[in-house]
Chains A and B, each alone.
Chain A
Amino acid sequence: GAGVSQSPSNKVTEKGKDVELRCDPISGHTALYWYRQSLGQGLEFLIYFQGNSAPDKSGLPSDRFSAERTGGSVSTLTIQRTQQEDSAVYLCASSTDGTGVSGELFFGEGSRLTVL
């Protein structure tokens, strides 16, 4: 596609439910990032993929969070047993650089998650 696509754009769920957020990066981009942005805050790093592997998972807040990437393309961020503090905008970004260094990030518009 022309840009990074994220779905759903908005998700309202009840506490305790599982949610899946999807990111479709720009075709050919090897690096893929997930960030979380709470209202009025900066971007909190969650996880970074280089191809299908994740060199850095250090930002995942808890074991309720997991992410995978298949075929070097689409990525899914899964949050199990959601809590109210998980409410935020989840942003995905991709980058062309095969080494993961010096790559300009192209962001999607984000998935806004609200946990009631």
Chain B
Amino acid sequence: SQKIEQNSEALNIQEGKTATLTCNYTNYSPAYLQWYRQDPGRGPVFLLLIRENEKEKRKERLKVTFDTTLKQSLFHITASQPADSATYLCALEGYSSASKIIFGSGTRLSIRP
């Protein structure tokens, strides 16, 4: 069955460092991969989308890579700030119009001052 794994439940890093989160998947050939941010008690908020033929996508301090050979996406936050503390979710979508979007379990990121 399709499976998405995010590297760890929680990640704690020092402010100013680069946070790197991992999303691995099996038994799936996604056309698109998305990353979302979720704050406690709130719905997820879209951050970035990367297509299967794209290697890398950037948005301000965020960078996403997508390696379809390794079946892995890396999500980087550079110059991290305490305000970046949240849970980050990756999501996969297939090619067809009937394809659902499925989510990983998330990584809780804490940035300490």
Contacts and interface: CB of A to CB of B under 8 A. Distances in A.
Co-assembled chains A and B:
yes
A39 B104 CA distance: 15
A104 B43 contact: no
Contacts, number: 70
A86 interface: no
Nearest to A93: B43
B102 A101 contact: no
A105 B46 contact: yes
Contact of A102 (B31, B42, B45, B106): B31
Interface residues of B, number: 29
* Interface residue SS majority, chain A: loop
A105 B49 CA distance: 11
Interface in A57-116: 58-59, 91, 93, 99-110
8 contacts: A43-B89, A43-B103, A55-B100, A56-B99, A91-B43, A101-B32, A102-B51, A107-B45
